[in-house]
Amino acid sequence: THALLDCYPSVFFLFTAYFALQVIHARWQYRISPPRTTGHPEFEQIFKARVNCSEYFPIFILTWSHLPTAVAVVCGLLYLYTCFRYFLGYAAAAQGQLGPLYASAWVLWMLLGLVVAGLLAHFLLPCCSPWMAVLVQPLQHLSAW
């Protein structure tokens, strides 16, 4: 699983490059020169889809570096898949974004919850009190996984 996790920067780059190339192609197709971000409605949909997909990648990078490897790989693949589906749906029609949008939001909330659980397990040491040991033990097992 470490090999899969080590591939994440490359996959992130490929997704970013794909989204950027779609925007470049739309600029060329609809004759919209930079730095303009408005113009033909189809260009605006593709541009907004790229922005929406790119803005949450930093959250994923944080979870990737602070979660157990297997959890990070599974969640990362789910997130990238839902992000790609969101981009394709949004670029085709704004109505096509809702299902993938909800799926990617669910994965992001799950990732954030796992990060909070990992941070709690890391900072709340069981040596502080007996009740805290009982509280933190499941979180430590999650981190060891």
Q: What is the pLDDT of residues 33-68, one digit of tens each?
A: 999 999 999 999 999 889 888 877 776 666 666 667
pLDDT of residue 77: 81
Candidates 3.40.50.1820, 1.20.120.550, 3.40.50.300, 3.30.70.1230; CATH matching 2-103: 1.20.120.550
Q: Cβ atoms within 10 A of the Cβ of 63, count? A: 22
CA distance 128 to 107: 33
Pick the more confident residue, 56 or 26: 26
Annotated domain spans of the chain: 2-103
Rounded CA-CA distance 118/66 in Å is 7
At residue 130, the pLDDT reads 61
Give me the residue label for tokens 């996790």.
Answer: 5
- In 1-133, DSSP assigns E strands to none
* Rounded distance between C-alpha atoms, residue 122 and residue 136, angstroms: 9
Closest CA to 14 of 45, 53, 46, 47: 53
pLDDT of residue 38: 95
